[in-house]
Structure 1
Amino acid sequence: MPPRTIGLVVKPDPNARQHADALEAWLVEKGCQVVRLSHDAKPGTAPCPSLTPAPKGLFCTVVLGGDGTFLSAVRWLGDNQVPILGVKFGEVGFLAEAAEEQIYTAVATILEGRFVTWPRMRLNVEVRQSERLVANETVFNDVVINKGALARLALITVHINDRYLTDYRADGLILATPTGSTAYSLAAGGPVMQPAVPGILITPICPFTLTNRPLIVSDDSRISIRLAEKSADIMLTFDGQVGMPIDQSHTIVVQKSPVPVQLIALPGRSFFDVLRTKLRWGGSRT
């Protein structure tokens, strides 16, 4: 069997780097090649930051860090259908499949082929200004329209499949995948969606009208968004990684990406285990 090439994405943390060094040496002893990406870059302001794409032919990618590092790894892989495993340092993260002390057991299981992958939906986001395409991004968690600290409430017009939905007067608007429902959207009052549910979540941030509630639409929806009035200090962010300023001249179109992310699932672990641990749910068992 030719040597397997493993991607390794590491959080800029001394503990994570120390574990990454040891894991890389262990993988090399197993006959693997390692391509390592250190997640040192801070979030930028350009829609397409310079990042060398992941090489072709990766067997899998292991992420050592938190959910932010995981999102960076997803961006690095792009449309490559490479299985990806998250190893969380500290508290359990929603995107992590294994804890720090499980690194070698988890990676050994993967090298032995004893794992399955679950496709997780992504969103494709096009930003146009006067019909000119100015940004084209793919997000795993969410795309967010957010006002600055001193800006007025934003008036955001939303159409779904070219039919008018409503105007949101709010601090902002979140469009999230089921995976992203446990991120910013959850903090803004949105529901938790099981990742297998085929839908897109629309969550207003601190809406002025209390009847503007979170809404789940089908995953084949085409969502078009514009600022309905002249606004200043409004940002559009992609997975919290990069962002760009927008105004009433921009149109944002969001729809399901044809290319999902392939998350590695290890035996004996489910989404509801992570949910119960992260949200500290308790109660009796019957």
Structure 2
Amino acid sequence: MKEIAIVVKSDPNAMRLCADLEVWLVNRGVRVLTRTNWSSGVVDDHFESAPSGLCAVIVLGGDGTFLSAVRWIGKQDIPILGVKFGELGFLAEISEEAIFQVADRILSGQFRTRLRMRLDVTVFRSNTADVHQTVLNDVVITKGALARLASIRTSIGGKYLTTYKADGLIVSTPTGSTAYSLAAGGPIMHPDVPGIILTPICPFTLTIRPLIVSDSVSVEIALEKKARDIMVTFDGQAGLELQENDRLAIQKSDHPVRMIVVPGQDYFDLVKTKLRWSGGR
């Protein structure tokens, strides 16, 4: 028996569609696992993972719900589909009107997927790998509201690049280029372009600009001595406070996300529509 998981936003319309979709799937002999959107905000190595054997995960919600579902999938190679129920989502592939048609394609195996790169993040504390996280969008280092500018020493592939004096630094994937990185002045990067984006947040030196590096390199980050009130967050889903001797190593993950794509959908049409560019539908 096929099993499909539905991750749903705590929204009346999304919950209504979830109930209808669950009945529709059960009537076709599918076992359904339903989860509501969740995010504790705490890094937890014992975070519950999705059960093995799922043939697909369908997400009813915005980008936050989608990122929660991706974190739940973890390293498993499970196709995932986003259905829009948010305000400004770039991760949802379809609208709710198309869900049953696309679900029928999933059951019959007549669908395509596209791989989206993720980043593995390791936080070293006292030279010991203390925290491991994987992100689809970004890892963000930020200072607290009353803290002074953060001094973020950054190296690329083991070679020192610069020390960002800024409110923070965003390290993002191409998928994450339309999220926080974009709001901070970073470039839009097509998901098929192999690269990692470094976007400083309000840098003290105006000549410091966003930078794209190869996805084959490792980005190493360390804080200056006596650093205080500095946080690192992972896809906006979980985070922890950094200490002055902590180091971060960020590199391309061996486990990309398999996103279900619908024929006829164009990435640039999505960008134009979401950002309301001229020519957008």
* Distance (Å, rounded) in 1 between the aligned partners of 2:86 and 2:73: 25
Structure 1 residues 284 and 57 mapped into 2: Cα distance closer, same or farther (>3 Å)?
A: closer
Structure 1 residues 283 and 26 mapped into 2: Cα distance closer, same or farther (>3 Å)?
A: closer
Residue of 188, 194, 216 corresponding to 1:198: 194
Greater CA deviation, 178-187 or 96-105? 96-105
* Distance (Å, rounded) in 2 between the aligned partners of 1:260 and 1:149: 34
TM-score of the aligned structures, taking structure 2 as reference length:
0.96
Give the AA of the match of 1:234: I
Residues 140-182 of structure 1: CA distance to partner in whole angstroms, max 9, x if unpaired? Answer: 1000001111111001000111100001000000000000000
Whether 2:27 is the aligned partner of 1:4: answer no
Structure 1 residues 284 and 237 mapped into 2: Cα distance closer, same or farther (>3 Å)?
A: closer
Residues 62-112 of structure 1: CA distance to partner in whole angstroms, max 9, x if unpaired? Answer: 000000000000011011111100001154521000012222122122223
Residues 34-73 of structure 1: CA distance to partner in whole angstroms, max 9, x if unpaired? Answer: 111111x3442x3226542111111111000000000000
TM-score of the aligned structures, taking structure 1 as reference length:
0.95
Whether 2:241 is the aligned partner of 1:245: answer yes
The 8 Å contact of residues 86 and 95 in structure 1, kept in 2 or not, is answered as: yes
Matches within 5 A, 1:258-269: 258-269=254-265
The 8 Å contact of residues 137 and 176 in structure 2, kept in 1 or not, is answered as: yes
Give the structure 2 partner of residue 220 of structure 1: 216
Give the structure 1 partner of residue 66 of structure 2: 70
Give the structure 1 partner of residue 23 of structure 2: 25
Structure 1 residues 90 and 120 mapped into 2: Cα distance closer, same or farther (>3 Å)?
A: closer
Calculate the aligned-residue CA RMSD, in Å. Answer: 1.5
The 8 Å contact of residues 272 and 280 in structure 2, kept in 1 or not, is answered as: no
* Distance (Å, rounded) in 1 between the aligned partners of 2:40 and 2:105: 33
Residue of 86, 92, 99 corresponding to 1:96: 92
Whether 2:192 is the aligned partner of 1:181: answer no
Secondary structure, counterpart of 1:97 in structure 2: coil
* Distance (Å, rounded) in 2 between the aligned partners of 1:284 and 1:148: 37
Secondary structure, counterpart of 1:144 in structure 2: strand
* Distance (Å, rounded) in 2 between the aligned partners of 1:275 and 1:50: 36
The 8 Å contact of residues 155 and 229 in structure 1, kept in 2 or not, is answered as: no
Give the structure 2 partner of residue 143 of structure 1: 139
* Distance (Å, rounded) in 1 between the aligned partners of 2:147 and 2:8: 36
Give the AA of the match of 1:257: S
Give the structure 1 partner of residue 153 of structure 2: 157
* Distance (Å, rounded) in 1 between the aligned partners of 2:86 and 2:49: 28
Percent of aligned pairs with the same amino acid: 56
Give the structure 1 partner of residue 33 of structure 2: 35
User: Which structure 2 segments of 5+ residues have no match?
Assistant: none
Secondary structure, counterpart of 1:98 in structure 2: coil
Structure 1 residues 183 and 92 mapped into 2: Cα distance closer, same or farther (>3 Å)?
A: closer
